[in-house]
């Protein structure tokens, strides 16, 4: 049976890049009738926070990503890791290293000066049993290192194909830190082994870790899972997606009014060749294959995300839209009009003030300020019996006659006066739902702003 895992670190909020990994594992597990394991990699005691963990779980549920096993926390499995440290020490595939942090920093600095990647020089690799015992008796702190076999690693990545790392790629990396907590690569390997993970689907930033994990599997006499490393997300400048590009966390997309189905749909198709872009959840599952994931970095296009959201909002049953946006049912008719042009739930709610607001937005004031003398416009508006059953077409005719404005100019002026905004849904649809009191108050706002009687 297929068994995959999503393993976030609770050192921050759920990033859209990690969401892509979560979705890939979720869709693959559902497609193959397999199991998704949720694992919290929280061995970084200083940076991990239970508040981040709670937020990650909330975001996953909001996105509709469910799991069959977990959440398992690495911080609760420390003794398990130490058990396998003892196994590797006994087999001779690991050793205790007593080098001081100062000495390790000197080694690192020397490597940097030589233009070489930092790596341990093996000073403690062949310490005698007596020397190890003596230093332990003295209470000298140590780490446990992997005794690298110094051999090349080849494996077939399900996305990148045949992948090769030379025999000097994996050095004697740390398995157990001085504080007796496991390193990332060791904990991940033990967890994947004991949880019987069959496929590891993750970002390509983890590709260089894979040889270490494969060699650890071999040292523990186990067969490693199959690996698939999907591309990373970038901004328009083709640099890794980060805060400088705007919203990147799931909670931020929630706050600006992106629907959960939209974010899941868009992220699930980024960098993939698909026959259709907007899909129901079942379609996303049925059309998913690991090989459809790109090995090249993929653009996260905010404009495209907003387009997705607008299409979803436009086609949602109004009752569902009211519930998703927490808008009271009394605004049903207004929402029917607004949903055609709203990009986000936040924008939808903001546009409601067209119908019960009393002010004119700054861009509208700026437009009218540059427009010229508004005396004729105000006089014409004051002369209209807004509660006398006039249609929108009637108002346009009356205003054309009273102001001499072209229809283009008149429509913009009317939009600003009636709705308080320069943009929005069609005025002809909005007008029947506007209350006379709302229009009257906007007229008062206009008169005060321009000192008109």
For residue range 375-430, list pLDDT tens digits in order. Answer: 888 888 888 877 767 888 988 888 888 888 888 888 999 999 999 999 889 999 99
Whether residue 293 is predicted with pLDDT greater than 80 in this model: the reply is: yes
Rounded Cα distance, 418 and 426, in Å: 12
Choose from 145-149, 268-272, 432-436 the range with maximum mean pLDDT: 145-149
Do 9 and 46 meet the contact criterion of CB atoms below 8 Å apart? no
Tally of CB atoms within 10 A around 166? 11
Q: Is the dihedral of CA 74, 17, 313, 255 positive or negative?
A: positive
Q: Cα angle at 83 between 79 and 89, to 5 degrees?
A: 140
Give the confidence band of 59 by pLDDT, cuts at 50, 70, 90. Answer: very high
The model's pLDDT over 237-286, given as tens digits with 9 standing for 90+, comes to 888 888 777 779 999 999 999 999 999 999 999 988 888 999 999 999 99
Highest-scoring range by mean pLDDT, 44-53, 204-213, 232-241, 416-425: 204-213
Percent of the chain with pLDDT over 70: 100
**Cα–Cα distance between 56 and 14 in angstroms, integer?**
5
Distance CA 334, CA 294 (A): 42
Q: In sequence order, which residues have a C-beta less than 8 Å from that of residue 283 and are 6 or more positions away? A: 276
Task: Tell me the CA distances in angstroms from 10 to 68, 131, 199, 360, 361, one per residue in order.
Answer: 20, 39, 22, 44, 41
Phi, psi of 70 (to 5 degrees): 105, -175
**pLDDT value of position 388:** 67
Q: Tell which residue, 375, 372, 374, 398, has the closest CA to residue 385.
A: 398
Taken in order 86, 88, 90, 93, the sign of the CA dihedral is negative
377 DSSP assignment: H
Mean pLDDT of 93-109: 92
Distances (CA, A) of 250 to 20, 70, 266, 445, 452: 11, 21, 13, 39, 48
pLDDT number for residue 231: 93
Is a pLDDT exceeding 90 seen at residue 453? no
Element (H, E) at 324: helix 318-325
Q: What is the pLDDT of residue 91?
A: 97
Q: What are phi and psi of 385, to 5 degrees?
A: -85, 85
Mean pLDDT of the chain: 93
């Amino acid at each position: 049976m297929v068994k995959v895992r999503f393993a976030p670190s609770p050192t921050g909020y759920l990033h859209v890049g990690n969401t892509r990994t979560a979705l890939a594992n979720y869709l693959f597990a559902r497609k193959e009738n397999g199991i998704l394991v949720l694992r919290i990699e929280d061995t970084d005691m200083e940076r991990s926070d239970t508040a981040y963990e709670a937020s990650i779980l909330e975001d996953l549920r909001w996105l509709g990503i469910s799991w069959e096993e977990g959440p398992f926390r690495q911080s609760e499995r420390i003794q398990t890791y130490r058990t396998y440290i003892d196994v590797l020490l006994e087999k001779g595939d690991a050793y205790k290293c007593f080098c001081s942090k100062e000495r390790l920093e000197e080694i690192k600095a020397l490597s940097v000066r030589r233009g070489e990647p930092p790596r341990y020089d093996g000073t403690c690799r062949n310490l005698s049993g007596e020397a190890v015992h003596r230093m332990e008796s003295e209470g000298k702190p140590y780490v446990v290192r992997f005794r690298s076999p110094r051999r090349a690693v080849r494996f077939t990545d399900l996305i990148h194909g045949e992948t090769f790392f030379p025999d000097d790629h994996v050095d004697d990396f740390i398995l157990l830190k001085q504080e007796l907590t496991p390193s990332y690569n060791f904990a991940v390997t033990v967890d994947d082994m004991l949880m019987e993970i069959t496929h590891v689907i993750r970002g390509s930033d983890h590709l260089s870790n894979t040889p270490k994990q494969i060699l650890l599997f071999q040292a523990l006499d186990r067969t490693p899972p199959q690996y698939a490393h999907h591309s990373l997300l970038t901004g328009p400048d083709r640099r890794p997606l980060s805060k400088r590009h705007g919203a990147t966390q799931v909670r931020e997309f929630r706050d600006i009014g992106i629907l959960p189905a939209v974010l899941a749909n868009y992220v699930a198709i980024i960098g993939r060749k698909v026959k259709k872009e907007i899909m129901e959840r079942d379609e996303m599952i049925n059309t998913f294959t690991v090989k459809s994931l790109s090995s090249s970095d993929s653009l996260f296009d905010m404009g495209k995300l907003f387009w997705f959201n607008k299409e979803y909002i436009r086609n949602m049953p109004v009752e569902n839209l009211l519930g998703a946006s927490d808008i009271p049912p009394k605004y049903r008719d207004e929402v029917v009009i607004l949903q055609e042009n709203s990009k986000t739930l936040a924008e939808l709610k903001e546009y409601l003030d067209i119908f019960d607001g009393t002010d004119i937005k700054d861009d509208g004031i700026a437009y009218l300020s540059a427009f010229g003398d508004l005396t004729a416009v105000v006089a014409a508006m004051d002369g209209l019996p807004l509660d006398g059953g006039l249609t929108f077409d009637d108002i346009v005719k009356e205003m054309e006659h009273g102001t001499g404005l072209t229809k283009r100019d008149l429509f913009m002026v009317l939009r600003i006066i009636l709705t308080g905004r320069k943009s929005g849904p069609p005025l002809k649809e909005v007008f029947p739902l506007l209350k006379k009191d709302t229009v009257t108050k906007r007229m008062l706002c206009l008169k005060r702003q321009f000192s008109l009687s």
